[in-house]
Structure 1
Amino acid sequence: MAFASVSREPAVRKNPFENGVPGWVPLLLGFLTAVGPISTDIYLPAFPAMEQTFQTDAGNVQMTLSIWFVGLALGQLSVGPLSDRFGRRGPMLVGNFIYAIASAVCAFAPDIVTFSIARFVASVGASASLVVPTACVRDLVPDRNAGAKMLSRLVMVMGVVPILAPMLGGLVVAMTSWRVIFWASAAYGAICVLLVLWLLPETLPFEKRVALSPMTLVTRYLTLLSDRGFSSHALVTGFSTFMQFSYLTAASFVFIKMFGFSPLHFSMLFGVFSVFMIGASQVNGLLVGRIDSSKLLQSAVCVSVLGGAVLLALVVWGQWYAGPTWQRYQVWFIIAAMLLALAPTGIIFPNAMMGALADHPSLAGAAAALAGTMQYVLGALAGVALGQFSTTSALPMAACMFFGTLMMLLMCAFRPKTSSAHPTV
């Protein structure tokens, strides 16, 4: 992505909020970041309808989700360093503009190939909204605990829209064409462009911007990857995403096709999961500062592992050993186990992400981009893996979710005991 039109002159030379960050800033950043989740979640109830429209199989429709994740991963690799060089606002403006146009193309795509290409372009544009707001938090709030608390508020706002998105998607599928979903996505992107123009100040002073060249870029990423604190925390967020996207990729087929949920009822269930994740993020905001963020992260990961193990055990029992009576009620036990696995991600994400960024203040954009890329590469792998299996069993979804929780636990064990005494600048 090129941003030649972005001026190299400083928009600001000091922190725009010297008297403290106003309460509306996390709201704005959360709304901008929600471009990623809303674009993932809103069309999940439409998967079966898209399968019929494009006259293709379920695996090809699921693959569009993996294509979306790949685009987010690749886009973040470029937009993160560009935001360190040119500031935060320019990449946000260009990225959201690209997202809006490509989403409109998705709305009238005649076949699955055209849809997939447009979806990829939209994801590259949307990647700016995943990287830049996190880097803005690091710009404005250097302290790790305070940053984790602000990210928790951002997660709350970011999560409210995805709660509504699948419900709206389900209503659209029930009442009209799934294509309306992507016209709404295009409108969302246009609104984000206007909000950045009118409200978002530049948070990266000119004197703190860093040079950009291919060799510098490679060196920067190698430096981050070689840092144990960054790598371990980034992989925690990555495998958390693997676990969540295993659920996102397969859940609509599992609950709609296997358990007979309507698209609207599935959307409501999706909203319940989101409410619990947002609730966990707000609990995290209350506890950070009272309890060390590293301990909060470890505890949340352990709860998620427990939920993943129970989910897998329930699915295996129901598929091979349980009788007809169990099969009538198993869906409710499966939902409870999924809540146990998914809800702690509201605590895992802010603490792991701030742990990844804590020691690299001058590379916040690149660090957020690399961590985000790792998340979406692993998310794409989850989608590809699940696309190889039939949609007649919940076992692939449960196995992938449990694998993700186990890898989070392993990465937590790999973390350094304490932060670097001399942060990289």
Structure 2
Amino acid sequence: MAPFDLLASLGMDVYLPVVPRMPAILSTTPATVQLTLSLYMVVLGVGQMLFGPLSDRIGRRPVLLGGALLFAVASAAMAYTTWAPAFVVWRVAQAAGGAAALVATFATVRDVYADHPDGVAIYAMLGAMLAFVPAVGPVLGAVIDQALGWRAIFLMLAGLGLAALLQALLRWPESRPDGSGVKLARVGAILRHAPFWTYTLGFSAALGTFFVYFSTAPLVLMGRLALAPLTFSLLFATVAVVMIITSRLAAPLARRWGSRGCLVRGMGLLLAAATLLAAGQLTAFPSTWAFLPPMWIAAMGISITCAVTANGALRAFGDVAGTAVAIYHCLQGVITSLAGTLAVLWLPADTAWPLVAFTGAAALLTPGLVRRLPPDTLGSAGQ
């Protein structure tokens, strides 16, 4: 499952070092290039509303294989496109392929590990692998760009997509439970389930913080501080390294604090990061020390939160896991892309204010919802 957990994120992060140059390459505006980042997040979430129910109906395997093929073809097409509208269309197709692969992967995790005593550890492991991509993706993109040019970045994505497709053809069995399928009544039950919404909003706060970070970091570190792309990539990766280290601790922390306790503490770390970012913006900005250390704290909150949100949101819906995963990721994608993009567009994107606004508001909202739920509906320990 690992390649499909990684590819959807890699499609975003490996592209970051060339984002400042893409307006000139595509003969378009910076806003259009920003649109390729936002649309990717939207389609990655909304596309799962199609592929999740489809995986409940026809199975995880065909959805996964089709998504991998679409991702590879779209990535190759982007390498040979210099017309902005076509680039955006292929970017949407690439995200759709990533959405199909992602929903099939998480539905398979739910199928196989739903009753496993170490289910949280499985999600934490996938989270650690996902955190690995932002650590190496921008560095890899910068190195490939310097050595072979920007087109090679997308050809590399196409090659990895085809390699993942080949190994899945040989090794990925069908895991869809017998009798599962699209049940409209269960969709209503999912949307009325308070823990589902609470954990989904927590997941949105965590992933949205990272989305705003990678939308603003190039402008802050390469724009305001004039760092070279490789230097930017290495500094950018420090946040992901903190996520990886924290993910290694997620399972024991979840056993100690419970899902509810991890969610509340994760939001507390995000709020602390937003507070420090605001203080740094007012006293020492622009500076790497005003921008990056608070993001290391945010990274800890992101990892702790993401380790428990999927299991907490999906626990009650094993019979329609594909649909539940789709709604979970769709809502996260919509909330993240819309609220995150508004923060980036309405506030100066080369400052810390978009991060302060999004992270602070999201981190304050989620604990309020947690406190309104009975402890025994959240997590194994309910702490």
Q: TM-score, normalised by structure 2?
A: 0.92
82, 88, 93: which one aligns with 1:110? 82
Q: After superposition, what is the alpha-carbon deviation per residue over 1:282-317, rounded to whole angstroms, capped at 9, x for unaligned? A: 1012333343222122212211211112112221x1
In structure 2, what residue type is equivalent to 1:401? T
Does residue 226 of the first structure (1) align with residue 198 of the second (2)? no
Tell me how far apart the structure 2 counterparts of residues 120 and 345 of structure 1 sit (CA, whole Å).
26
- Comparing 158-167 and 350-359, the one that deviates more: 158-167
Residue in 1 that maps onto 2:381: none
Shift of 1:350: 2.2
**Residue 333 of structure 1: aligned partner:** 290
Give the conservation status (yes or no) of the 8 Å contact 2:260–2:375. no
- TM-score normalised by L of structure 1: 0.83
The 3 A distance-change label for structure 1 pair 220 and 78 is farther
Q: What's the offset of the Cα at 1:242? A: 1.8
Contact kept, 8 Å, 1:246 with 1:383, in 2: the verdict is: yes
The correspondence of residues 136-285 of structure 1 with structure 2, limited to 5 A, is 136-143=108-115, 146-205=118-177, 207-210=178-181, 212=182, 216-217=183-184, 219-285=185-251
Structure 1 residue 359 corresponds to structure 2 residue 316: yes
Aligned to 2:99: 127
Contact kept in structure 2, 1:50 and 1:178, CA below 8 Å: no
Question: What are the superposed Cα offsets for residues 25-72 of structure 1, whole Å, 9 maximum, x if unpaired?
Answer: xxxx23211111111111011111112212333222111111111211
Which whole-Å CA distance do the structure 2 matches of 1:418 and 1:146 have between them?
A: 19
- Asked if structure 2 preserves the Cα contact closer than 8 Å seen for 1:59 and 1:387, the reply is no
Q: Distance in 2 between matches of 1:158 and 1:391?
A: 25
Output one character per residue of 1:96-125: Cα deviation in whole Å (capped at 9) or x when no partner.
Answer: 101111111111112221111100011111
Kept in 2, the 8 Å contact 1:87–1:204? The answer is: yes
Cα separation, partners in 2 of 1:413 and 1:182, compared to 1, 3 Å: farther
2 CA distance for matches of 1:196 and 1:251?
35
Q: Which runs of 5+ in 1 are unaligned?
A: 1-28, 319-325, 421-425
Given the superposition, is the C-alpha separation of residues 240 and 164 from structure 1 closer, same or farther in structure 2, using an over 3 Å criterion? same
Deviation at 1:147, TM superposition (A): 1.5
Distance 1:116 1:387 in 2: 19
1:57 to 29, 37, 40: 29
1: CA distance between counterparts of 2:354 and 2:140? 27
Tell me the CA shift for residue 391 of structure 1: 4.2
Larger CA deviation: 224-233 vs 48-57: 48-57
Match of 2:352 in 1: 394
Partner of residue 9, structure 1: none
Structure 1 residues 414 and 85: alpha-carbon distance in aligned structure 2, compared to 1, 3 A threshold: farther
> Is the Cα contact below 8 Å between 2:198 and 2:366 reproduced in 1?
no
Amino acid at match of 1:113: P
Q: Which moved more, 1:399-408 or 1:345-354?
A: 399-408
Point out where structure 2 has 5 or more consecutive residues left out of the alignment.
379-383
> Measured at CA, do residues 410 and 264 of structure 1 come closer, stay the same or move farther in structure 2, by a change above 3 Å?
farther
CA distance in 2, matches of 1:75, 1:48: 27
Question: What is the Cα deviation at residue 415 of structure 1?
Answer: 4.1
Q: 1:391 to 1:358 in 2, by over 3 A?
A: closer
1:294 aligns with 2:260: yes
- Structure number with greater Rg is 1
Distance 1:177 1:391, change over 3 A: farther
Paired residues in the alignment total 378
Q: Which residue of 2 aligns with 1:403?
A: 361
Label 1:239 to 1:269 Cα distance change in 2 as closer, same or farther (>3 A).
same
Residue deviations 1:295-347 (CA, integer Å, cap 9, x gap)? 122212211211112112221x13xxxxxxx457x321321011111222111
Q: What SS class does the counterpart of residue 292 from structure 1 fall into?
A: helix
Residues 75, 304 of structure 1: alpha-carbon distance in 2 compared, 3 angstrom cutoff? same
Structure 1 pair 334/39, CA: closer, same or farther in 2 (3 Å)? Answer: same
Identity of aligned residues (%): 28
